[in-house]
């Protein structure tokens, strides 16, 4: 996963058992928690099959996780076997939750998500383009986090914080190297947020589009696929690429910047310093200008444009068709380079999908290599605008899932349990 | 690894030991052979350190591999310790060899390579553009293979055959789906070659540019790097991408077709059916035409162009500069998408490197995102024109390295040992 981890010191390990058997024990707990997080709920039999553990060991681990307040068991009538009861293990509601945070150009969002992926509460704040400074962003987030933890009553259950930001984030330390559309450069966001929120749980920062890809893979349109490209964005265009089930990071974690592939040698200047990038051809501003609107109108201007398109205004339809063609050029590169099974269009492109699908597909027919073209499905996101916060919460759960005892031991009621 | 395997039936496993301990034993042998193949030679102490096996087990495995004729031991004076003797384990010359085969547009090549990577003999046949049919190719290769095995005296030591072809190869069955510059479509190359050569050892087919990337990674300019893009070609332009140490294949093995990224919306028609692909802008023909030569002049025409450039003929220099600029556009996409540590330029681009480096680097400065741009090194191939045959031999060694007994047991002197 991309993103740095700012880890507080763990509580001491339990005494009385050797460090090696303790390590194995924690890995066993992690395997069970990982399965339950991925599936939401599972029977004991399924857990035995999926982990390869003995039934007795599975029972013992479930018992321990129940005591920790992480999972609970309930009886269920097995489908197809009327009268026969099965014991299902599920994530306990409010047992362990994380904060997923998204910092986009025209909004910030926070979600509280429980183990297993249930969204317990979200809040999104649209903001004028002038309010994107680091200080404004952090103070907005502080208030939103406080309110949301209060409203959902989850402060004591918090085990991690994940942050997705529209920018180039270095994996090793979570520094935002460059976020052109936010106007940020060299911001130690992880450190600053951890301090502002008083975080005593791991806080991890990654690129927002990468996290949207993780969300699509685990909870969305690309579930079950191993080779996936996710393209999303509004003003900026970002991407996350999944190669053989793993997020493509590159040597420093900067990979996947598909918004900055040069596609038009004669194109307009881009915020990144280049010109004719995919982002300058398919981003929100180019679309608005092509349709005869003024740029920087934001989401509401795009909504108006979509209304125009749906009643057949020619300039709107033609602008969407042109955007679809350029999108097709960019996707042809990605199809030829990655041979993906699924391409997921999120954010702006999920909303535009019905109007640009035809011209995009036509361009793919002209430009993508036949065997890869025939294989790929291009679909709109099923998660809509929440893909990044959901991906951020997946990232936030990783330290907890990897070692549930470490991030649970001091709870409940510990004074340093939450920001 | 990309490529299909056409595997003859293995000889029966040795009797008298359970199947499970036999499996472990073979895996242990494989670990030793893999280390020796990767490094050429190693001391027993190094083998113990690298495998984590007990010294006694290492000794026993070396003894067995010595008996099989795969490795041999020799004494050496340890550096820095005059007088102190170390026993070095090395691949035995002619102990186990493979054939590496390359099918390119204007030449075919065969190499005999020993365990550890020593090249024991190569032969390359330049051929007119009209002699690229499947039948011609197979009959040329049959003669070349026969001559080379004879000349090197390696027929009995053959343990595998690897083939790299300038085309889109399906991983599951090694079928060449499309090789536009050869004029091939839907050719069951693996099957046909295995039959023509009478192969009784595994024969594996993969994309030539992918294999060049594997060669650069294991034996060339990208050794020790985990995130690498290799761009090579002559008329066609191909690529191999290494992500976290593994070859990028995509869902069907078609990934890495970087020659067919659209870079110029107004560009010329490409053999793939699209237009303005990277290949149409930087391939051999575009270069020759820009320099005022006729296209399809092949390697000798490029050599003349390089002579012109070295004495300062303006049309030649300007053509190379333009090629460098388009190469920079294509590499900017790859840098932004993959954040690689190294980009290796092979084939034509290795030879052109001194003349196009400046314009290429200038284009990268304009178009690649700063942090990824600053990290990447763009270097010419150290393996030159032989990268694909060397990569094909690496591929060919994989089944043997994974299970040395299986592919050695019937040797030496077995009548079915070689094509």
Domains in chain A, CATH or no CATH each:
1-220+385-419 (3.30.420.40), 223-382 (3.30.420.40)
Rounded-to-integer distance, Cα B362 and Cα B366, Å: 6
Residue A410 vs residue B242, higher pLDDT: B242
pLDDT score, position B412: 46
Rounded-to-integer distance, Cα B316 and Cα B287, Å: 9
pLDDT score, position A419: 38
- Mean pLDDT (chain B) is 88
Separation in Å, CA A394 to CA A162, A206, A397: 8, 11, 5
Find, in chain A, the residue whose alpha carbon is nearest to that of B225: A251
A186 and chain B in contact, CB less than 8 A = no
Q: Residue ranges of the alpha helices (H) in A40-188?
A: 44-51, 55-67, 134-152
- Give the burial string for B264-288 (b: 16+ CB within 10 Å, else e): bbebeebbbbbbbbbbbbbbbbbbb
Q: What is the DSSP letter of B336?
A: H
Is the ipTM above a cut-off of 0.95? no
Pick the range with the lowest mean pLDDT from A59-63, A404-408, B324-328.
A404-408
Contact A363, A324 (CB under 8 A): yes
361-390 in chain B: CB under 8 A from chain A: 366-372, 375
pLDDT score, position A337: 97
Please give, rounded to a whole number of angstroms, the shortest distance from the CA of B168 to a CA of chain A. Answer: 9
Rounded-to-integer distance, Cα A313 and Cα A298, Å: 20
Find, in chain B, the residue whose alpha carbon is nearest to that of A242: B250
pLDDT tens, B136-160? 999 999 999 999 999 999 999 999 9
Pairing of strands B85-91, B71-77: antiparallel
Decide if pLDDT at A84 tops 70: no
* Optimal mutation site among A236, A251, A273, A331, interface B, most CBs of chain B within 10 A: A251
Q: Is the pTM of this model over 0.90?
A: no
pLDDT score, position A87: 83
pLDDT score, position A180: 83
For residue A10, name the pLDDT band (cuts at 50, 70, 90).
very low
Residue A58 vs residue B75, higher pLDDT: A58
For residue B82, name the pLDDT band (cuts at 50, 70, 90).
low
Decide if pLDDT at A417 tops 70: no
Contacts of A252 in chain B (CB under 8 A): 339, 371-372, 375
216-245 in chain A: CB under 8 A from chain B: 225-227, 241, 243-244
pLDDT tens, A160-210? 999 999 888 876 677 898 888 898 999 999 999 999 999 999 999 999 999
């Amino acid at each position: 996963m991309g993103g740095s981890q700012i880890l507080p010191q763990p509580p001491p390990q339990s005494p009385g058992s050797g460090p090696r058997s303790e390590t194995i024990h924690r890995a066993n707990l992690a395997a069970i928690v990982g399965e339950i997080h991925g599936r939401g709920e599972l029977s004991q039999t399924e857990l035995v099959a999926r982990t390869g553990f003995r039934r007795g060991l599975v029972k013992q681990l479930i018992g321990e996780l129940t005591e920790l307040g992480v999972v609970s068991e309930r009886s269920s009538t097995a489908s197809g076997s009327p009268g026969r009861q099965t014991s299902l293990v599920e994530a306990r509601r409010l047992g362990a939750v994380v904060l997923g945070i998204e910092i986009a150009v025209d909004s910030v969002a926070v979600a509280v998500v429980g183990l297993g992926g249930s969204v317990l509460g979200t809040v999104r704040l649209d903001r004028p383009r002038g309010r994107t400074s680091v200080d404004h962003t952090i103070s907005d987030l502080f208030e939103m986090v406080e309110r949301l933890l209060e409203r959902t009553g989850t402060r004591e259950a918090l085990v991690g914080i994940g942050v997705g930001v529209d920018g180039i984030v270095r994996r090793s330390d979570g520094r935002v190297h460059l976020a052109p559309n936010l106007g940020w450069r060299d911001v130690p966001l992880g450190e600053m947020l951890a301090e502002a929120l008083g975080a005593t749980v791991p806080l991890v920062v990654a690129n927002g589009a990468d996290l949207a890809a993780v969300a699509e893979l685990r909870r969305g349109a690309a579930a079950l696929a191993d080779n996936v490209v996710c393209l999303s964005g509004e003003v900026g265009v970002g991407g996350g690429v999944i190669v053989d089930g793993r997020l493509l990071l590159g040597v420093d974690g900067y990979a996947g910047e598909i918004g900055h592939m040069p596609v038009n040698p004669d194109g307009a200047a881009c915020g990144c310093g280049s010109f004719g990038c995919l982002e300058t051809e398919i981003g929100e501003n180019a679309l608005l200008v092509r349709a005869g609107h003024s740029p920087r109108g934001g989401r509401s201007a795009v909504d108006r444009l979509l209304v125009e398109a749906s009643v057949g205004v020619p300039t709107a339809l033609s602008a969407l068709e042109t955007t679809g063609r350029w999108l097709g050029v960019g996707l042809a590169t990605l199809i030829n380079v990655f041979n993906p099974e699924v391409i997921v269009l999120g954010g702006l492109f999920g909303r535009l999908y019905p109007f640009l699908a035809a011209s995009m597909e036509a361009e793919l027919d002209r430009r993508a290599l036949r065997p890869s073209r025939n294989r790929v499905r291009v679909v709109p996101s099923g998660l809509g605008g929440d893909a990044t916060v959901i991906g951020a919460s997946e990232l936030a759960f990783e330290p907890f899932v990897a070692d549930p005892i470490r991030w649970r031991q001091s709870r409940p009621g510990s004074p340093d349990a939450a920001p």
